[in-house]
Amino acid sequence: MKDCMRSEIMEISILLLHMNRIGMPGRSSMEDFNDINELRLLPVGSPAATPILSRVTHVYTDLDGTLLAPGGRLLTTHSGKPSSMLAQALTALKVAGVEVILVTGRNRIQATEILRLLDLNSFIGEMGTVLQIGFGADAEISYALGHWSEVVLCEGLAPGEIPDDLTPYEVISKSGAIDRLFEAFPNKLEHHRPYGDSREVTQMLRGSVDMATAKALLSQEILPLELLDNGIIHPKVHTLVGVDEIHAYHLVPRGTSKSSAVAADIARRKLEPEQTLAIGDAVSDVLMGEHTGSLVVVQNALKNQSVISAISARRIESDNLTKASDPLMSSRQDQVADCFQSWSELKRPTFSTKNETADGWVEFARALLLAKELG
């Protein structure tokens, strides 16, 4: 049985190797470093990643802008060409015993159908506020409401208790907080329709706002709320004025996030950090890496300055890395090897793909599968 599984994994890995624009493993050079803002991220396919990836058993992945190609597509490359590579990659990971957990801003109805189509078992939805394991009547569903447990949400009820006739989503609507955000950012913020419909906890918005100003404004609300940035989007229709870069935002109960939900799930599963990995394209995805053993960002994430800042804040400086990077201008081969070694010694390393969205995810999956085979 093991030989059969290994053969299937290798067969799919070979197919993935033929994907355009993905480099061969082990051929890393100084040009492989992602030098954006001196982040010096190493490619996920570098030798430094192999021993780290070989230990991973659970992958927490963002969906839109990461796992899926633009437009939320499964069977295309990033550029829109028909491709089954992503489906092949997911199949190979399942055969290899790696569990993929979706962590998305999408609502439960959407996430459930995607879970079913991808043959996965669990997801964290609505930016960390909804957890579902399984399907249908057997599904286990739970909600996270963060600091709401400390506040009386309705007169006559206990702290954190919600009236039977209201969902957390409706509690936020009735609070007036969204109207006050719209007033503070005229023509720069709107509902993210139709994707904000059928939600149970969080409100979904889109636009471009100063996050510090939004945080200060929400701190004055009686209802504990927080605005989370879920990355750059490209809606075909909107009413925003003078906004060049549109972000998806989620208005959530304060104290909830993808990050806190991933932490709770890791604890529930009793996993060691080295067994876990997060992959994504937004600030909220980088923050998931606070609790996983390692983090991978797809290439399109590095077009977002807020993501770059989050990665910079995450970086752990070490004497080893400094010593390895000082002499990079001479004796290239030895210096690259030294730098790889020091990266292997880093806590919670961050890697990047060379490709965007689905192409980058396939690149990551290939590296993980090969690491498992080599390990």
DSSP string, 171-228: HHHHHTHHHHHHHHSTTTEEE-TTTTTT-SS-EEEEE---HHHHHHHHTT-SS-EEEE
Check residue 197 and give its pLDDT.
Answer: 75
Q: Is 128 exposed, middle or buried (0-12, 13-18, 19+ CB in 10 A)?
A: buried
pLDDT digits 0-9 by tens, 118-149: 999 999 999 999 999 998 889 999 999 999 99
CATH number where 85 lies: 3.40.50.1000
- The answer to the question of residue 27 being in a domain is no
Q: Are 132 and 71 contained in the same domain? A: yes
Flag whether 206 is in a domain: yes
Confidence at residue 346, expressed as pLDDT on a 0 to 100 scale: 56
Residues 249 and 286 occupy one common structural domain: no
Claim to verify: residue 6 and residue 120 sit in the same structural domain: yes
One domain for residues 164 and 290 = no
For residue 70, what pLDDT is reported? Answer: 95
**Residue 229, domain extent:** 152-253
Instruction: Give residue-wise pLDDT tens across range 326-368.
Output: 433 233 334 433 444 444 445 679 999 999 999 999 999 999 9
41 and 101 together in one domain? yes
Q: How many domains does the chain have?
A: 2
- Pair 308, 37: CB distance under 8 Å: yes
Query: Are 244 and 118 within one domain?
Result: no
Digit-by-digit pLDDT tens for the chain (375 residues) are: 455 555 555 555 555 544 433 333 333 443 455 555 467 788 999 998 999 999 999 999 999 999 999 999 999 999 999 999 999 999 999 999 999 999 999 999 999 999 999 999 999 999 999 999 998 889 999 999 999 999 998 888 999 999 889 999 999 999 999 999 999 999 999 999 887 778 999 999 999 999 999 999 999 999 999 999 988 999 989 999 999 999 999 999 999 999 999 999 999 999 999 999 999 999 999 999 999 999 999 999 999 999 999 998 887 543 333 344 443 323 333 443 344 444 444 567 999 999 999 999 999 999 999 999 987
Same-domain check for residues 263 and 248: no
Domain shared by 119 and 235, yes or no? no
Give the pLDDT confidence score for residue 41 in this predicted structure. 86
In a domain, 102, yes or no: yes
Looking at residue 347, what is its pLDDT? 66
Assess whether 235 and 275 both reside in one domain: no
Structure tokens at 229: 């940035």
| Other CB atoms within 10 Å distance of the CB of residue 157 | 12
> Does any domain span residue 318?
no
